Structure 1
Amino acid sequence: MRYWNHHGMNGWGFGLMTVGLLLVLALLIVCGLALFRHLDRLPQQRPGSWPPPTAAPDPEQVLAERYARGEIDTDEYRHRLETQRQGRRPDSG
């Protein structure tokens, strides 16, 4: 028996093995970069704060949404809007 031919590995075998290894390494690098970019885009949160805090909706926006859905009529919308705007004015006097 002849064992000095490396079990059939010739120049092509080593070349294909090298190309395959480079492709696997390139795939690992691309996956790592994609994971890094994905994690970098997540919103920054304080530890232990889940779900992330959200801003309270603007009262006028909520009122406009209720009016758009038909929950309140035009007179009630105008009355509530005027009441909200009066409450925001600083007291004069």
Structure 2
Amino acid sequence: ASYPYKTTQQSCKARSSKVGAIKGYGNTLRGDEEGMRQALDTYGPLAAAIHTTTDLQFYGGSSSGHGAGIIDIPSCSKQVDHAIAIVGYGTENGKDYW
């Protein structure tokens, strides 16, 4: 990516310009993963909110990062502290992922 996430304090390098508009939005029911998959297939990326844990703090997401593969955090919290974009899903070695 041309503007990768780094886990350090840094200044914002983004330059803003209008690139599109939102035509509408919808919701899926909490915990309805099939509904989320259908919405992702039909409409594209989904906005979501998650509660992060220390398990994610140093996760790199690739073999060159501090973590790799699918991260599984079984605890479920109604508290949220991060916004994310869900852009895809799949299954690897029998484990589903977003």
The alignment's TM-score, normalised by the length of structure 1, stands at 0.17
Structure with the larger helix share? 1
| More contact order relative to length (CA 8 Å, sep ≥ 6) | 2
The structure having more radius of gyration, on CA atoms, is 1
Structure with the larger strand share? 2
